[in-house]
Amino acid sequence: MSSLPARPRFALAGVLLILVAGAFRPAAQSHGPAADEDFARLVREWTTRPEFLSPLVDHLPVVAGIPTPKDVIGHHIGQPRKLTYYDDILRYYRALAAATPRVKLIDIGKSDEGRDLIVVAIGDADTMRDLERYRNHLARLADPRDVTEAQAREVIAQAKPIYHIMAGLHSGETGPPEMLMELAYRLAAEETPLLRQIRGNVIVTLTPVADPDGRDRYVDWYYAYKVDEKGEDDSMGGPPYWGKYVLHDNNRDINYSQAITQALLGWFLKWHPPVMHDIHESVPFLYTFSGQAPQNPNLDPILYGELPWFANFEMTQAARYGMPGVWTHAFVDMWSPGYLAFMASNHNALVRMYEVYGNGGANTMKRRVERGEGAGSQATREWYRPLPPYKEVEWSIRNNVNYGQTAVLTALQLTAAFPQVILENFYQKSRNAVAAGRKEPPYAYVIPAGQRDMTRVAFVVNVLRAQGIEVGQAKAELKLADGTFPTGSIVVKRDQPYGRLAKILLEKQEFPDPTLRTYDDTGWTMGLLTHTEVKAIADKAVLDAPVMPIGEMKVAGRVTGTVQASGWLAVRANGSSRLVTLRWRLRDIPMRAASKAFTAGGTEIEAGSLLVRAGSAEAAKRTAAAVEDLGLTAAWLAAVPADAVTHDADLPRVAVYSTWGSTQEVGWVRYALDQYGVAYDLVFKERVRQGGLRAAYDVIVVPSQSGSGKRLVFDIEPKSKPLAYRKTERFKNLGMYGESDDITGGMGLEGVVELKRFVEEGGLLVTMGGASYFPPDFGLTRRVEASRPSPQFYAPGPTVQAEILKAEHPIFYGYDRKTVPVRWANGPLLRVPDEDKGQVLMQFPGGDASVLSGLMRGANEIRNRPAAVDVPLGKGRVVVFATNPCYRWQNLGEFNMLFNALMHFNDMN
């Protein structure tokens, strides 16, 4: 497939002249509206050094009828000790949209706590009146199969790129949501040649605050505790929660489980912005992402040219303005596809990202940028950092606003100078994605029909479909060189616009260079993590296989056999995690469970299957209906054999323990339990110290958190005053998902004693991942040792083999293989003495051959180390997972290890 023809040289030269003219024309030189003198004076006052301000943002025009942020929220942006609540941010954008035809608001959904999620669109009035036409242009370029090259050229000539900017995904990064309000006003009202060029050539869209629930909670916390902070050393930290479930990991939600990520993805797939720009806060003074190694090789090479093109232009312009500390490279890499803004690069658009220096609030304070010399220094001169940050600096939120807004306007300047190049690249990347699926294997992925648990197949399919990937179901048996697959098998062909993304998500990750480090996980293969069979297809004939397109996949449950009044309904443990949903949904119905597999009437009933007496007609009817609704499999049995070993499937009273300082991994477990309908209490140090745990609970789950036993026990270091987390009349967003008079100090040794007493009195304690240092370190599993790998060991989230040693243990009900893929959780290296080896339920074979996807450097260090142990203590038990069987809504294949522990809590013997 040929590319678009090269543009005539004179046309490109003309564009370059426009760019140069725009670049060197002082932004404030204009015969337009008068400037706000109060704004200019205050901005100079709030900016701590003259070189931290640029001519792009040192002024603000006053336009009659168009409100500035101050007109609505009462202060200019960047005022010290001022942060804006989300309601007021929305109020400003609504006032702006009501005042000018250059601004429109698009509703995209609701947050978990019911706040409106919006996208703000800004352009010239003509563009805004015809916004739907421009959306349709981009949709046509996003799917090149529906346009000829000639038609594409016509579309590009009429289209405008959408440049989408997102702020406030991480609630502790407070400056960008403030900055966007001023940027929106400037884009809508300012009449400099640069701003007119941007409005005329680009549609700018904004996500004002990606996580509004977290924004309001953090602003509450700021005014309650941080507004008087003087420096880094007296920080009062942040609130224990941002959003409902996760904090920082809302930028790692690869399967789009959260309400805010789902809403933004839905908008993206409808509007197809060629550029998506996520603004964060961390390193000094402004880092602009350039897609450094390791790079995902599946993404288009055009992308890897676009990234430094923008970053280098931004560095150049910042140097022109004399602004130090703008740099690129040497921070975030381009390996993992799971960051939220990477929905752009995953869908043939350009992903962009900044990190702007911030103080975690709105206070001006002295900062030590450089705490030491060395390769990790961010204040040294490098080829990618020609004008480095200062080693010490007095930093303000207005500095943050100046840097972020100057850089964004510079990026928009480049986009406005080359709008057709941006559109051509977007179209070409889409074409290349389709062509790649026809040129090189694998040409498709097949998920065979007839797998033991088709609900996990449906999960994979629906995650792919949610991301716009086309999925089909084979209309007939597939006979390919790679094998024969039954009718109804799932086929994901790669000759489609998002075929590259399908490969990224479904292939096994081969990390390109073991000497490199990466910012997040190195492995995420969906088939391995969900224990779903996925087959890569090298036979090109698969592209011609007839399939029926799938929208959303729903698995219908199946009940076989004939009901008999004296019989039983056996709900089979075929590996589906939805078995736990059925048990909790039907909590009022007595059930038994098969302790071991048995055969009845020629039907094999697996260990862990649930048994309901048919004699209770209503109970049997409701169970059968739930089986069908949940996609489970059940069989009517005339009788349960007399020699069948069963036990009561009692429902436990479950508590999930969380520290106040490490709620994120706990949040992922809460999310899973909520999705599967498992009832639980969320408890903190206050409830543990209170005692009487065994009278209230049967199981206490301690999700991965804290990273050491000591940190789990003692948690947040006490501050100069108590840090209460309670809802008050003034701070209505605090006290959500738990309350405390002081979140510092941890459960302490008093809490350890109570947890030990809970187990000794017959309770089940389950620890996962990083929390599993706690039982060995504090004597709950005296003969189990927990250590850490060597400094040379490096394993950021690969998928590795685990060997099940005790297949009969209830934790492994529904698992039918001796070895299973598990995600390496950076948990403890466990060691059990030889005489207690019977307590080891699962172990890591270790070695390079056991690494299934991603990178593990030093894989021999985990050889034959326990992955799960079950240790008796008094009348109860402690189950210690070195793995994390409930990670980020990803490793659904491991979820049942936790769910089985809950369902069979009192039958571990």
Are 243 and 250 in contact, with CB atoms under 8 Å apart? Answer: yes
The pLDDT assigned to 564 comes to 85
Phi, psi of 101 (to 5 degrees): -75, 0
Q: List the structure tokens of 329.
A: 């490279």
Query: How do beta strands 819-823 and 799-804 pair?
Result: antiparallel
Largest CA distance in the chain: 95
- Angle at alpha carbon of residue 222, lines to 216 and 225, rounded to 5°: 135
If one counts every other C-beta atom within 10 angstroms of the C-beta of residue 819, the result is 13
- pLDDT-based confidence at residue 615 (cuts at 50, 70, 90): confident
**pLDDT averaged over every residue in the chain:** 96
The rounded percent of the chain whose pLDDT value lies above 90 is 93
What sections of 1-85 are H helices per DSSP? 9-24, 37-46, 69-73
The alpha carbon dihedral of 182, 188, 193, 197 has a sign of: positive
> Tokens 């499937």 correspond to what residue?
649
Judged on CB neighbours under 10 Å (0-12, 13-18, 19+), 642 is exposed
pTM above 0.75, yes or no: yes
The pLDDT assigned to 29 comes to 47
The pLDDT assigned to 133 comes to 99
Are 747 and 864 in contact, with CB atoms under 8 Å apart? Answer: no
The pLDDT assigned to 616 comes to 83
Which range has the worst mean pLDDT, 75-79, 627-631, 717-721, 785-789? 717-721
pLDDT, tens digit, for every residue of 783-813? 999 999 999 999 999 999 999 999 999 999 9
Residue 125's region, left for phi above 0, alpha for psi from -120 to 50, else beta, is: alpha
CA-wise closest residue to 882 among 755, 785, 746, 791:
785
Adjacent-strand bridge partners of 799: 823, 853
Distances, alpha carbon 514 to alpha carbons 517, 794, 858, in Å: 8, 9, 10
Task: Kindly list the domain boundaries of the chain, sorted by start residue.
Answer: 9-232+239-370+381-434, 440-549, 558-648, 654-790+828-844+864-903
Q: For residues 592 and 290, what is the distance between their CA atoms, to the nearest angstrom?
A: 58
Residue 769 is classified by DSSP as: G
Domain range 654-790+828-844+864-903, CATH class: alpha beta
Write the single-letter amino acid at 334.
M
- pLDDT-based confidence at residue 27 (cuts at 50, 70, 90): very low
Distances, alpha carbon 170 to alpha carbons 149, 151, 207, 338, 814, in Å: 41, 41, 13, 15, 38
pLDDT, tens digit, for every residue of 264-322? 999 999 999 999 999 999 999 999 999 999 999 999 999 999 999 999 999 999 999 99
Secondary structure element (H or E) that encloses residue 712, with its range: helix 709-714
> Tokens 């981009």 correspond to what residue?
138
pLDDT, tens digit, for every residue of 339-349? 999 999 999 99
Number of Cα atoms under 13 Å in the Cβ half of residue 164: 27
Which whole number is the average pLDDT over 89-97?
Answer: 99
Give 9-232+239-370+381-434's CATH code, choosing from 1.10.3720.10, 3.40.190.10, 3.40.50.2300, 3.40.630.10: 3.40.630.10
Are 36 and 391 in contact, with CB atoms under 8 Å apart? Answer: no
Are 30 and 191 in contact, with CB atoms under 8 Å apart? Answer: yes
